[in-house]
Each structure stands twice: as C-alpha cells, then as structure tokens.
Amino acid sequence: MIACWFQRAWIDNQWQYDVRLTVAEGRISALETGVGAAPGDERHAAALPGLCNVHSHGFQRGMAGLSERRSRPDDNFWSWREIMYRFLDRLTPDDVAAITAQAYAEMLEGGFTRVGEFHYLHHDPAGVTYADPAEMAGAIVDASSATGIGLTLLPVFYAHGNFGGASPSPGQRRFLSDIDGFATLLDSARTKLVGDANIGIAPHSLRAVAPDQLAALLAMSPTGPVHIHAAEQEKEVADCIAWSGARPVAWLLDNAAVDARWCLIHSTHLDVDEVPRLAASGAVAGLCPITEANLGDGIFPAIDYLAAGGRFGIGTDSNILIDAAGELRALEYSQRLAHHARALLAGTESPFVGANLYACALAGGAQALGVETGLAVGQPADIVSLDLDHPSFAGTDDATLLDRWIFAGGAGTIDCVWRAGVKRVEGGRHVDRTAIAAAYRKSVERIVA
Ligand code: NGQ
Ligand code: ZN
C-alpha cells in the first residue's frame, strides 16, 4: 500500500471522514482528513486500526471442535487439558508452523493484526530439548511471516505441576525448563525475530512457576511484556489459598510488583478487593471470553473492573473460534447473562457498547503486547476495513456502526486487512488462504488419524 483513501476512519476513537493514509516502510507516514482521493489511491469504505490478540496458543487451533463430546460425568477444564496434552504430544515443528499459520490467517481475517503467542510447546515429544532450543519458537515466527501477522513472542517458563513445586505430569514434559535452560531458549528465540516482532516473558501460572523462579524470570527480562495465567479456574483459586493463604491475583499484587508491563490472562475469579487493586495496578486483564465460555471457566467481573478504571485486552486463547468482534460480543453477553440486564459495558463518555469495547481492547491490547496502536502518523499501518455495503450496515450512522459490526455483523463484514502496510486479506479472505489451509489440513489429518 502506498496510499489509501477511506470514506471514514476510526481515529482517536471516533469516526473521521475522507481520510487519506500514506504508508512508508510499513508505517503511516501521512494522514489527512477531509480530503479527496488522489488518482491511483485505493478507495475503501471504513478503516479501523487492527486489534492486538493478547493471548494465543496457536497449535490448539488444530484440536478445535475435538473436545466437545462428554468423556466423563464431570467433564471440565481439567479433563479438557488432558485431551489437549494428548493432541500436542504428536506435533512436530512443521505441524506447529502449519497449524499456527492457519490460526494466524484466521486472526487476520477476523480483525486482529498482531498476536501475543504464549508459547510453551518447546521440546520434542520425549521432552528432550531440540538441537536448536528455540526450534519451536522458530516455527511460530515462520507462521507469522507466512501470514504477515505482527508477532509478540511470549516464551513460557514452566517447571511444576501445581502450587508448592509439585512434580510435573508426563503430559507436561514438552514444556519444562530450568532457569538456565530457559535463559538459553530466550536468547535463541530473540535471534529469530523478524520485522517488528518483539518478545516478552511468560511465567505460565503460579501453578507452574515457584516464587524464586518468578523473581529470576523478571530479572532476566527487565523490560517488555510479562504475561501469566491467573485465576481462571475455581480449583486453581482454592489450591492457591491452600498453598499461600492468598488468591492468585492478590498473591501476584502482593509479591510481584505487577504494573503496566503485566498482562494477567483470564483473571476470571476476582474478589471484591482484587477488582480495584488489579485495576489500580495499571496491568491489563487478558480476557478470552470465547475460550472462557468454551472451557467453563467462569465470568469476569467486567462491570466493576471497568468502573474501577481497569484495562483489558482480548485474546483468542484456545483458538476454538477466531473472531475479534465475537470476543467483544461474548464479553458483553457474559455480563448480560450474569446480571439480567443490557448494554452493560457502555463507556462513561459514550453510551454505545461496541465503540467502548473497541476503544478499550485497542488500547489495552497494545499495552499488553508492548506496542503502540491507532491510526496516526508513525504507527504501523495495521488496518481493518469494513464492507459498508454488507446488509448489516444498511442505513448506518456513526454512532451505531461498531455496535452493528460487533453485535449483528457476522460473516462477511470484514473486507481488507493490511498489516504493516501490506494487504493480507482481500474480500474477507487471506490472500494465501488456499495454500495455508492445505498445509494445515495435511498436518491435522495425520495427527488425528
Ligand atoms: C494452556 N490453557 O496453557 O494452554 C492452558 C492449559 C494449564 C488455559 N489455561 C494449561 N486455558 O492452564 O495448565
Ligand atoms: Zn492460555
């Protein structure tokens, strides 16, 4: 893309008209509003800045829909995890590259232009470190390059099976590191980054990481994103209290200097003290509403958290279904189902839920991945265009446009997606969808056979 003209564009969280964007070296180099298109400009209807997907396990896309049958009377998150461990047991680095590429292509088609990959599948099926310790990180970088999505790589440290340093289970052997081994892995992973990819660290959870290890990880990575799973399951909260006397989020706030670098993934189960404390920390809550519903995690206290000024980003986590608008819709619907009311996550300045959710997820997502965002000069040209000829937008006005997209748009509303100025999605399809899907199909067919 050299220059592109949009009938309207979402700039500083409001629609502006007749917008011309010029791009150089992947970034917006000029932005004019209230101007006509110049000869040769591509013309489109509506431009949104792309969202960051703060939490993905790309390989889990390959088992989407394969864990929906009842396997025992008390099927739950923990039995799902067993199925997930059996699936990942067979994956080669080529499988991870192929499956992750499919997930990333779908993310671009679904309105995400950058992904935070919470990457813990490090070692070979026997748990032995590959000759290149960051072989699997390389597969993820390859998937991002093949699809064009922006990447924030979050290498995961994983050492224990539960709170108190419990031994890991055999199903976890591909994840495990000691601190020295992880430092080597992190160094090697850094050398693989391309383009504007960046890197953070991800202590997996308080279940998998002991306090002294958490301190060592933070010392190893003094800047950049820190992501950790926290308080997703009630059993996890109970186990944490049994171990420490505190709930997971309270423990982190008390013991880990949680600040704006941090993203606490899920944070589903917060008590009345944790809600304002997490909000005041400046950290981002990494909400993954579709996965959280699929896994039966629980409902995040979004109304109180937003009222306290809390920040959030959205993630696709298990990649059971990849859809930025769908995540925002699921977040609002979770609150409606819990509270028997409507239009709950409206903003203080705007009563329109869709616009508020988009603005929050845009800012929180970028913060969580350690990048900047928005349609502005100097920012990456990460742009999602909507097809305003779609029936869902009939008679649309500014105020309701994002509500129509998020709550009523459905398939076919996203037209083009540019990432760092390169058009990767056209007419709703990733330009390399056919080849990416063929490689994906080959891997998954072999694995599930
Ligand atoms: C994960 N997923 O790391 O993929 C986890 C399962 C765990 C979610 N928590 C493993 N949704 O938490 O122990
Ligand atoms: Zn996760």
Answer yes or no: 397 catalytic: no
Cβ neighbour number for residue 43 with a 10 Å cutoff = 10
Q: Does the pLDDT at position 351 exceed 70?
A: yes
**Residue bearing the CA closest to ligand 1, atom 6:** 81
Looking at 73-127, list the stretches that DSSP marks H as alpha helix, in order from N- to C-terminal side.
77-88, 93-109
pLDDT one-digit tens code per residue, 360-379: 999 999 999 999 999 999 99
Mean per-residue pLDDT of the chain:
97
Average pLDDT over residues 192-203: 98
Closest by Cα among 146, 147, 139 to 107:
147
Average pLDDT over residues 246-255: 98
Distance (Å, whole) CA 312 – CA 308: 12
For the full predicted model, state whether its pTM sits above 0.85: yes
Q: Return the ∠ at Cα 418 (arms to 21 and 289), rounded to 5°.
A: 120
Task: Assess whether the C-beta atom of 229 lies below 6 angstroms from ligand 1.
Answer: yes
Q: Distance from the CA of 317 to the center of ligand 2, in angstroms?
A: 5
Q: Which of 266, 269, 390, 430 is catalytic?
A: 266
pLDDT of residue 99: 99
Q: Does the pLDDT at position 307 exceed 90?
A: yes
Q: Does the pLDDT at position 204 exceed 70?
A: yes
Q: Which ligand places an atom closest to the C-alpha of 295?
A: 1
Task: Assess whether the C-beta atom of 81 lies below 6 angstroms from ligand 1.
Answer: yes
Average pLDDT over residues 397-406: 95
Task: Assess whether the C-beta atom of 317 lies below 6 angstroms from ligand 1.
Answer: yes
pLDDT of residue 349: 81
- Residue 402's pLDDT band, with cuts at 50, 70 and 90, is very high
Q: Is the distance from CB of 155 to CB of 189 less than 8 angstroms?
A: yes
pLDDT one-digit tens code per residue, 95-113: 999 999 999 999 999 999 9
pLDDT one-digit tens code per residue, 119-178: 999 999 999 999 999 999 999 999 999 999 999 999 999 999 999 999 999 999 999 999
pLDDT of residue 350: 83
Distance (Å, whole) CA 180 – CA 104: 31
**Residue bearing the CA closest to ligand 1, atom 10:** 81
Q: Does the pLDDT at position 416 exceed 80?
A: yes
- Residue 2's pLDDT band, with cuts at 50, 70 and 90, is confident
Q: Which ligand places an atom closest to the C-alpha of 88?
A: 1
- Residue 1's pLDDT band, with cuts at 50, 70 and 90, is low
Answer yes or no: 266 catalytic: yes
- % of the chain exceeding 70 in pLDDT: 100
In this structure, what is the dihedral angle of CA atoms 388, 393, 397, 401, given to the nearest 10 degrees?
-90
What separation in angstroms does the CA of 103 have from each of 106, 162, 301? 5, 29, 28
Closest by Cα among 429, 398, 403 to 414:
429
**Residue bearing the CA closest to ligand 1, atom 1:** 57
